[in-house]
Structure 1
Amino acid sequence: MVQLFKCLLKAEKKPIRSHLRSAFIDSLRLTVRGGHGGNGVPKYGGVGGQGGCVYFVAKEGVSLRNVNQKYKTKRIAASSGEDSSKVRILGRRGVDERIEVPVGVQVIADGGKLLGDLNEHESTCIAAGGGAGGCSGNNFLGQPGDQRNINLDLKLIADVGLVGFPNAGKSTFLKSISNAKPKIAAYPFTTIRPQIGSVQYPDLRQITIADLPGLIEGAHANIGMGHKFLKHVERTRLLLLIVDIFGFRLSVEHTKRNCLENIYALNKELELYDETLLDKPCVLLLNKMDVQGARDILKTIKPTIKNLECGLEKCPEEIRPTKLINFERIIPISARSVKRIDVVKEELRDVLDRLAEEKYVPDALEVREQLRIKVGERGPKIT
């Protein structure tokens, strides 16, 4: 019996299977503390060094997984300031703690206060300031640094956000159009964490597409993947909705919805989470057009898709949106067809280029008016 227990104790632990490891982290909770200020010396009027601060800096190529591995205790503290002395009247400042995080991270304190939105490379945010050094104003006693609990909340930055219900063909489409290698299978929820793929063009233009975990009805209320999915849509420039032309049914306990009802349901979920998402430009992909009967369905529903308002009366009340999404393009595809995928690539580029022109190329009259104001020209306004 003793030998049996010894064998059990010596038995090596089995490594966690790779598909169960969390390869992607988009939220991390930390405790941060600024350094304590050094004490001053009343006799010489010395001033203690200020405590170091904890700050975050956005870097390309970094992940929250790196931060999680480096700070396993989830506690980060800067060093304290140096005490003043007769040898050094002004104490040295404490050393700052600099943490590199991925671009797109929001630093949020308890209570929901936004401390920083690091959406550009090299942007910084101080999460915990160091305490003041001891001086005549505080009886020469160094002050403690800030201490707070924070959440690092990553929202992916991509040109295109791929949105759809489970098993709509998002992963197959992403694999076909980009260099990403998502897991693909014929059952819902194959994608359980975001994937980002890059679409390359012959002239070296590049577009990034984020394939996000399939949402379900009630995602706006954090059901299923909920907010873990929807928050990543906020930073995308273009929404790419993909819908199975034959409809979708999550399980035997759920109602099967046809293609048109699924479009309304996706519209409703986005509206309930954040109505401003519906103002983003959107392209609709009708997938699985290579299956027999798909053309007949498309012929029936296409007029309604082009004018969603005319189909609202027949839409079930629980998925009926108040604000309707406007599709820039409606493209029938088969995610496995190279020819159709090439069409989508060109359409996406065309829409994104047009959006860029509208945003960055000002109207000629507007430029002239701005020049008139800058040079102080007097006279009637240009119309």
Structure 2
Amino acid sequence: MVYLSRICLRKYGNFVDNLRLYVRGGSGGMGLPRLGGQGGKGGDVWVVATNNMTLQRIKDKYPQKRFVAGVGANSSIRALKGEGGKNVEVLAPVGITVTTDDGRKIGDLNAEGDRVLVASGGSGGSFYSGFEPGKSQAKHIRLDLKLIADLGLVGFPNAGKSSLLTALSNATPEIASYAFTTLKPQIGKLIYPDYKQISVADLPGLIEGAHMNKGMGHKFLKHVERTKQLLFVVDVCGFQLASKTPFRSAFEAVQLLTKELELYKEELMSKPALLVVNKMDLPDAEDKLAELKEQLQNPDKFCNLLPDDMIPKNYMTFRHVVPVSALTGFGVSDLKSYIRQSLDEDAVTENKTFHREKLQALRQQLGGVCEKQGQRIPRASVRP
């Protein structure tokens, strides 16, 4: 197991999903005591989200990983107010969380053009500071990439996630009949007849103890946070990671995956989820599927198969349980329909919530105006 982990870490290193940078704001300019002049403010350092950018490109383009803003100009007889220092922008990919070295979050970059201030420049010297410039900020920051996708495939190694992604979409991940084939996240696009596109992230397989960062648990689990819904994928016949690890049935795999997500971050349990039961082309698959469905309906009755510390506090509720064979294509079209239906349902709910909140804000705004004018507008007269 240690040998496998070392192999995975070396290969995974080619995919840069976090980067540590040194950033420093520019120094402020000196004030001019004789004429009461004010020095220019030092420049700021910003991290700005842009498409078509990767952390690997930042690493290659700026090998020293240092970003220092411009210095503010001193006050002078010709210019009593010194010119401000030049700002520096670090262009980063969309889907970045910016944190300090100690893990404190500075901000998120979720869309093109989002900006986060990471180091402020020093203030210019003035009468109030004895004409001495203020200190600029300097720190190390971390850019942490978390994928943004509609769906995240979650499963143990060799559950068939990569084969499923290929069957569903236009992605071409590496596929083989051994564990740990997927060593970095893959994104595929589901394209429907009406040109609707849904993004699906194939996340590398988890292992038991992933929440404690076993294997590369945290590198993988963090990507689950930035997906709208989860797509659990299990082998209908169960799996065994290695000869020295216990065999796990499909039901046990579902509960272990649930427990890993729960222990890593309990909020993940609130995400809508579908369950894909893969490899239905194998012998006795129908009988095993029927057994799994019965176990899912009465999980308390069958969870004695697991150690107490591996039983989730709350069982995952799946919107749909879909049997498929990524190899033969059986059930894949049904799965695409269920995925679309699930995401569309959430989109309608989000839209209604948005309009309801907007309407409430409008009513409060109009109510405040009417109170000032001593009038009262009937509730029915306010429309969305």
Structure 1-normalised TM-score?
0.89
**Alignment correspondent of 2:53:** 62
Determine the structure 2 residue equivalent to 1:257.
248
How far the C-alpha of 1:288 sits from its partner, in A, is 0.4
CA–CA distance in structure 2, aligned partners of residues 284 and 21 of structure 1: 27
Kindly state the Cα deviation for residue 83 of structure 1 after the two structures are TM-superposed. Answer: 1.4
Conserved 8 A contact 1:106-1:153: yes
Aligned pair in 2 of structure 1 residues 51, 363: CA closer, same or farther (>3 Å)?
closer
Give the superposition deviation at 1:310: 3.6
Match of 2:192 in 1: 201
2:174 matches 1:183: yes
Aligned to 2:232: 241
CA contact (8 A) 1:286 1:331 kept: yes
**How has the CA–CA distance of structure 1 residues 317 and 77 changed in structure 2, closer, same or farther, with 3 Å as cutoff?**
same
The residue number in structure 2 matching 1:147 is 138
Out of 69, 75, 84, the position equivalent to 1:84 is: 75
Aligned to 1:12: none
Q: Give the Å deviation of 1:108.
A: 0.5
* CA-to-aligned-CA distance 1:162-198 (integer Å, 9 cap, x gap): 0000011011111111111111111111111111111
Distance 1:319 1:62, change over 3 A: same
Q: Which runs of 5+ in 1 are unaligned?
A: 1-18
Report what 1:288 is aligned to: 279
1:202-233 residue CA offsets vs partner (Å, 9 max, x unmatched): 11100000111101011111111111111111
Matched-pair contact (CA < 8 Å) for 2:38–2:124: yes
Single out whichever of 369-378 and 26-35 deviates more from structure 2: 369-378
Match of 2:344 in 1: 353
Which letter maps to 2:177? A
Indicate the SS of the match to 1:171: helix
Change (3 A) 1:27 1:362: closer
Letter in 1 for 2:262: E
* Residue aligning to 2:66: 75
Unmatched 5+ stretches in structure 2? 1-9, 368-375
CA shift, 1:102, in A, is: 1.2
**After the TM superposition, which residues 203-352 of structure 1 pair with which residues of structure 2 at under 5 Å, given as runs?**
203-352=194-343
8 Å CA contact 1:248–1:257 kept in 2: the answer is: yes
Contact 1:309 1:324 in 2 (8 A): no
Deviation, 1:135, is 1.2
> Is 2:130 the partner of 1:130?
no
Is the Cα contact below 8 Å between 2:12 and 2:184 reproduced in 1?
Answer: no
- Code of the aligned partner of 1:321: P
Q: Which amino acid aligns with 2:222?
A: K
CA distance in 1, matches of 2:354, 2:33: 65
Q: Are 1:174 and 1:180, in contact at CA under 8 Å, matched by a contact in 2?
A: yes
1:29 aligns to 2:23 (yes or no): no
Whether the 8 Å CA contact 2:12–2:183 is kept in 1: the answer is: no
State, as a whole percentage, how many aligned pairs show the same letter: 44
Q: Which amino acid aligns with 2:90?
A: I
Match of 1:94 in 2: 85
**1:77-114 deviation line (CA, Å, top 9, x unaligned):** 11111112112211111111101111111110122221
Letter aligned with residue 217 of structure 2: G
Offset of 1:264 from its aligned partner? 0.8
- Looking at structure 1, the residues matched to 76 and 127 of structure 2 have their Cα atoms a distance apart, in angstroms, of 15
Following superposition, the deviation at residue 373 of structure 1 comes to 5.3
Moved more, 170-179 or 366-375: 366-375
- The 1-side partners of 2:256 and 2:12 are apart by 32
- The RMSD of aligned alpha carbons is 2.3
Letter in structure 1 aligned against 2:199: T
Contact 1:238 1:281 in 2 (8 A): yes
Match for 1:50 among 31, 41, 45? 41
* C-alpha distance 255-52 of structure 1, shift in aligned 2 (>3 A): same
Aligned partner (choices 3, 24, 41) of residue 32 of structure 2: 41
For structure 1, which segment, 344-353 or 306-315, has the greater mean C-alpha deviation from structure 2 after superposition? 306-315
Q: Counterparts of 1:76 and 1:364 in 2: how far apart (Å)?
A: 42
Contact 1:282 1:327 in 2 (8 A): yes
Secondary structure in 2 matching 1:338: coil
Q: Distance in 2 between matches of 1:250 and 1:40?
A: 68
Q: CA deviation at 1:245?
A: 0.9
* Cα offset, 1:318, TM superposition: 3.4
Q: Using the TM superposition, give the Cα deviation of residue 21 of structure 1 relative to its aligned residue in structure 2, in angstroms.
A: 8.3
1:283-330 per-position Cα deviation (integer Å, ceiling 9, x unaligned): 000110011111121122211123433423343323211111110000
Which residue matches 1:113?
104
Displacement after TM superposition at 1:263 (Å): 0.7
Alignment check: 8 A CA contact 2:27 2:136 kept: yes
Letter in 2 for 1:100: L
Which residue identity is paired with 1:343?
A: D
Tell me how far 1:359 sits from its aligned partner: 1.6
